Amino acid sequence: MSSSRSRIRPFFRSLLALPLIALALGAAHATASNADDFPRKPVHIIVPVSAGGSADKLTRILADQLSVLWKQSVVVENIPGASGVLGAARVAKAQADGYTLLQQGESLTLNSLMQPRLPYDADRAFTPIIKAVVNPQVLVVNPATGIHDLREYLARASARPESISLGLPTNGGIAHVAHEILTQATGAKVNYIPYPGGAPAALDVLAGHTDATLITLAAVTEYVRAGKLRALAVTTPYRSQTLPLVPTVAEAGGPANYAVESWQGYFAPAGTPPAIVDRINRDMQTVLQSREVRAQLENLGYRINGGSPGELAKGLQQERPLYAKAIQTAGMQLR
């Protein structure tokens, strides 16, 4: 009798386990189904800087094409402030369902290094989706300054410290890091003026309210071509195909080993189902590789990157020690 009972008990335990297995399989099927018919309502992409800058232009180009592909509205929301922290915090608190996304680049890492008391854990609050594009930063001046090249810029900033006013698209952002590395190596010193994004920083240089800005090339390409701004140098070790006559910092008389490259990507709140993350990644890849979008972005100065969520996650891990060293070496502080 006891042996019969021992055989029966495993049998009943297996019966009890069947609903749990079915539930797990059903959940997996539901997630896959949700990804297949994603999105079923409007998707919101948070851009944590002011409208009109390079990040905003990129996101609106992608949003227009994604709305066609998805047959749903893709709404771009600009939430500037605190060097991008306010917009990132909004996404960190959003439901992890793929319907609220964050546009972000190296500022995600820089903010975590420069601002220890963030309202979110930068390493755990977001799920990487895609590193969409890379591009140079470019140092531009208002032609009325009379500065014609990088050597003149550095000479004036060294001989007359803080006589040049430089608008920072974000305080503590990649432009801040890039310029600090340059000035620490050359002894030049400028008057930093922080802005809530690239657009207002560029507009004030255009209007003559500030002398210069170091900014994503895509944000000012049209102004440089029109002669409204003078480009002195790009921060990458290679010239941009968009503005091939603009030299690199090293070519223009700056440090020989100088190299800073910016990027823009997209993230979802942590916990977003992998199937939905993969769906968004796949559709963004499709849009980025389309002839129309590629032409638009390359004309602005971007280089298409793409890649998987895992590749973006790996890139984040690699850039953190590099920027941490640069910030420490330059003695940077948020002003």
Q: Print the SS3 string covering the chain.
A: CHHHHHHHHHHHHHHHHHHHHHHHHHHHHHHHHHHHCCCCCCEEEEECCCCCCHHHHHHHHHHHHHHHHHCCCEEEEECCCHHHHHHHHHHHCCCCCCCEEEEEECHHHHHHHHCCCCCCCCCCCEEEEEEEEEEEEEEEECHHHCCCCHHHHHHHHHHCCCCCEEEECCCCCHHHHHHHHHHHHHCCCCEEEECCCHHHHHHHHHCCCCCEEEEEHHHHHHHHHCCCCEEEEECCCCCCCCCCCCCECCCCCCCCCCCCEEEEEEEEECCCCHHHHHHHHHHHHHHHHCHHHHHHHHHHCCEECCCCHHHHHHHHHHHHHHHHHHHHHHCCCCC
Quick count: other Cβ atoms within 10 Å of Cβ 283?
A: 18
Q: Is the pLDDT of residue 12 over 50?
A: no
Give pLDDT, residue 214.
97
Phi/psi of residue 291, each to 5°? -60, -40
Where do we find the tokens 């409204």? 228
Quick count: other Cβ atoms within 10 Å of Cβ 239?
A: 16
What is d(CA 152, CA 143) in angstroms, rounded to the nearest whole number? Answer: 13
More confident position, 7 or 45: 45
Res. 54 pLDDT band, cuts 50 70 90: confident
Average pLDDT over every residue of 226-234:
98
Give pLDDT, residue 135.
87
172 residue type, one letter: G
Tokens (6 digits) for 182: 């340059």
| CATH class (in words) of the domain with range 43-134+262-330 | alpha beta
| Lowest-confidence pick of 79-83, 188-192, 222-226 | 79-83
Average pLDDT over every residue of 174-181:
91
pLDDT in tens, 312-325: 999 999 999 988 88
What is d(CA 117, CA 303) in angstroms, rounded to the nearest whole number? Answer: 33
| Lowest-confidence pick of 56-60, 68-72, 113-117, 280-284 | 113-117
Give pLDDT, residue 332.
73
What is d(CA 222, CA 202) in angstroms, rounded to the nearest whole number? Answer: 11
Task: Say yes or no: do domains 43-134+262-330 and 136-234 share a fold.
Answer: yes
Give pLDDT, residue 269.
98
What is d(CA 277, CA 94) in angstroms, rounded to the nearest whole number? Answer: 15
Q: Is the pLDDT of residue 330 over 80?
A: no
| Lowest-confidence pick of 140-149, 157-166, 257-266 | 257-266
Domain boundaries, the chain: 43-134+262-330, 136-234
Res. 28 pLDDT band, cuts 50 70 90: very low
Average pLDDT over every residue of 4-14:
47
Give pLDDT, residue 184.
87
Tokens (6 digits) for 134: 């890379």
- Mean pLDDT, rounded, of the chain: 89
Give pLDDT, residue 333.
65
Pairing type for strands 100-105 and 43-47 reads: parallel
| CATH class (in words) of the domain with range 136-234 | alpha beta
Selection from 127, 86, 88, 92 nearest residue 104 by Cα: 88
Tokens (6 digits) for 154: 């550095």
